[in-house]
Chain A
Amino acid sequence: MLILTRKLGEKINIGDDITVTLLEIKGTQVKLGIQAPKSIGIHRNEIYEKIREENLRSSNVTDSDLSKAAALCEPFALRE
């Protein structure tokens, strides 16, 4: 891992299109400003990981479990 030290207001460039600016330091929190093309997803890691994991789990659901789940939802389906 590349480790860089930056002062408040200083920037880091990643490739030609991405700039990260250190905007604020408050106690244990730092605020970063990130400029990047919109095709690049920028996410808080903990949220990104949760969604990734839920996607992966969902892709492993079996048809038999889904049919049982659907049966449990029957009142829902009828109400629609």
Chain B
Amino acid sequence: MKLKIKTTRFGTISIKKEKTIDMPFGMLGFPDKKKFIILQHRENSPFFWYQSVDDPTLAFVITSPFLFKPDYKIDLEDALKEMSWNGDGKTDHLEIYIVVNIPKGLPEKMTGNFIGPILINNKVRQAVQIVISNSPYIHNFPLLSV
């Protein structure tokens, strides 16, 4: 089944219903937006839009943390418990993204938030934004080291 989703950035897009991702607790600061889709930014781009299904105007920029910090490592135990995703210890259905920020007109100053990653469970198509405390990571890590 296909869903038609209205977006202000990309017009109306048609997407398979099973491609949507449920966020029972929403993104921090946006608790009432609970459904999202991931859209590839463009070919060869490391970025994706995390587009709200409920709000056409709302989309976050996300990317893989490992592209910029190959040794990125976080403890998922609390999040797995919180989401009741306690399974068989396997993690290959889990995906991690970080939220990207680009100051207006200053793309070279782009940063990634490594203490608020989004954890996606592809098996149940659910996601949660994790709050990482007591880690060596920061909320505005420069993605380009120039």
Q: Is B35 at the interface (CB under 8 A from chain A)? A: no
Complex partner residue of A55 from B41, B60, B107, CB under 8 angstroms: B60
B58 touches A73 (CB 8 A): no
Cα–Cα distance between A53 and B116 once the two chains are bound (Å):
11
Determine which of B108, B110, B133 lies in contact with A47 in the assembled complex, contact meaning CB atoms within 8 Å.
B133
- Interface residue stretch chosen among B13-21, B42-50, B87-95, B119-127: B42-50
Instruction: Please determine whether A55 and B28 come into contact, CB atoms closer than 8 angstroms.
Output: yes
| A51 lies within 8 A of chain B by Cβ | yes
Give the number of chain B interface residues (Cβ < 8 Å). Answer: 45
* 19 CB < 8 A contacts A-B: A38-B84, A41-B28, A44-B133, A47-B131, A47-B133, A48-B28, A50-B113, A54-B139, A59-B30, A61-B101, A63-B9, A65-B107, A66-B41, A66-B107, A69-B102, A73-B46, A76-B68, A77-B44, A80-B67
Which residues of chain B come closer than 8 Å to A67, judged between CB atoms?
41-42, 45
A44–B100 alpha-carbon span in the complex (Å): 22
Interface contact B102-A52, CB-CB below 8 Å: no
Q: How far is the CA of A40 from the CA of B145 in the complex (A)?
A: 37
Q: A residues within 8 A CB of B45?
A: 66-67, 70, 73, 77
CB-CB nearest in chain B for A79: B67
Residues of A within 8 A of B (CB-CB), count: 35
Is B60's CB under 8 angstroms from A59's CB? Answer: yes
| Cα A56 to Cα B61 with chains together (Å) | 11
CB contacts under 8 Å to B, within A27-57, are: 38-39, 41, 43-44, 47-48, 50-57
Q: Which residue of A lies closest to B109 (CB)?
A: A69
Q: In this assembly, does A14 line the interface, its C-beta being within 8 Å of a C-beta of chain B? A: no
* Contact B133–A54 (Cβ < 8 Å): no
